[in-house]
Amino acid sequence: MKKIYLMRHFRVKDTCSKKLFSSSEIDAWVDLYDTYDLEACAVDLPEVEKVFISTLSRSERTATYLGMTEYEKSSLFNEVEAKAFVDTKYRFPKLGWLIAGRILWSLGLVKRSESKIRTHKRAKEAADSMIEAKESSIMIVSHGFFMLLLARQLQKRGFKGRISEHPKHGKIYTFLKL
C-alpha cells in the first residue's frame, strides 16, 4: 500500500494593510508574502518514510516548526505564481488581482507566470515521482491551489482520498493506493 499525505503550509500572517495595489505593488506584495510570519497550529503527523517540501520558504518554515529535520526540497510542489497579469498604474484590491489572475490562468491567458499547461504538466510529474518513489509513505508540504491539481492527478492514478476545494492550512489530506 502506498500512502501520500498532502499538507498545506501554515497560514501566512499578512501584515500588509494596504487596500489598493497597482501591478508593480501587487507583484512586490506577492514576493513579500513568502517572508511573512506563519500562524502555527497543532498537527497530528503520521509516521512517514520521506518528506518533500516546495522551495518556497513558508513550506520549509512549516516543516521546521513541526520538527521535520530531513526533507527534500522540490520546485515541483511550488504554488502557481500570482503575479500581476497586466502592467498598470491603476489600483485594484488585492483579492481582485488574485481572483482575476486565477481566472485568466484557468483560461490559459496568463503571460507573466507559469501557464496552465505547464502547471498541469508539473502536477503530473509530481504525482508520477511520488508513485515511482521507493518509499511507501510520503508527506508533501505544499500550497493550496497546487495541492488541488496534485490531488486530481493522484486520483487519476488510482489513489483514494479527498481534498477540500479550499484546503485548510496545516491540515493533512491522505491519499491511499492498495
* pLDDT tens readout for residues 80-102: 988 898 999 999 999 999 999 99
Residue 111 pLDDT greater than 80, yes or no: no
Q: Please compute the mean of the pLDDT values over residues 64-84 and round it to a whole number.
A: 94
Tell me the pLDDT tens digit for each residue of 10-54.
Answer: 999 999 999 999 999 999 999 999 999 999 999 999 999 999 999
Q: What DSSP element (H or E) covers 145?
A: helix 144-156
Average pLDDT of every residue of the chain: 95
pTM exceeds cut of 0.85: yes
Q: What CATH number does the domain located at 2-177 have?
A: 3.40.50.1240
**Domain spans, the chain:** 2-177
Running DSSP on this structure, what letter comes out for residue 89? S
Calculate the CA dihedral of residues 159, 164, 166, 172 and round it to 10 degrees. -70
The C-alpha atoms of residue 115 and residue 112 are separated, in whole angstroms, by 9
